Structure 1
């Protein structure tokens, strides 16, 4: 599995995670939020996540 050296990721449950090197294999990701007015890191999400 190739890695994108610009996107680090430790979510091993994601099918796009290169678990050996802890990088994402996608060329680009979509970051989103589940809050109307996000104010903390916990309010953001990787919308490119897909379960392995």
Structure 2
């Protein structure tokens, strides 16, 4: 799979270690609830994160 290839038009291999329900992400495997990346980057937009809402999938790419 081409590293720059999005899943709309490219085959997606679900990574069963990364569950995902964000259907408008280019890395989302549309027929399953998994991400097609081999790894993701998780980050935060807060100085001192204390809740799940403070974290972000920084691997997100709009399709």
TM-score (norm 2): 0.80
Q: Which residue of structure 2 lines up, in the alignment, with residue 26 of structure 1?
A: 37
Aligned residues: 52
Superposed structure 1 runs of 4+ greater than 2 Å apart:
none
- Which blocks of at least 5 consecutive residues in structure 2 are unaligned? 1-11
Q: Which has the higher contact order (CA 8 A, sep 6+)?
A: 1
- Which blocks of at least 5 consecutive residues in structure 1 are unaligned? none
Q: Provide Cα deviations, 1:20-47, integer angstroms capped at 9, x if missing partner.
A: 1110000000000000000000000000
Cα root mean square deviation, aligned: 0.5
Matched residue of 2:17: which SS? Answer: coil
Q: More strand per residue: 1 or 2? A: 2
Determine which of 5, 10, 23 is the counterpart of 2:16. 5
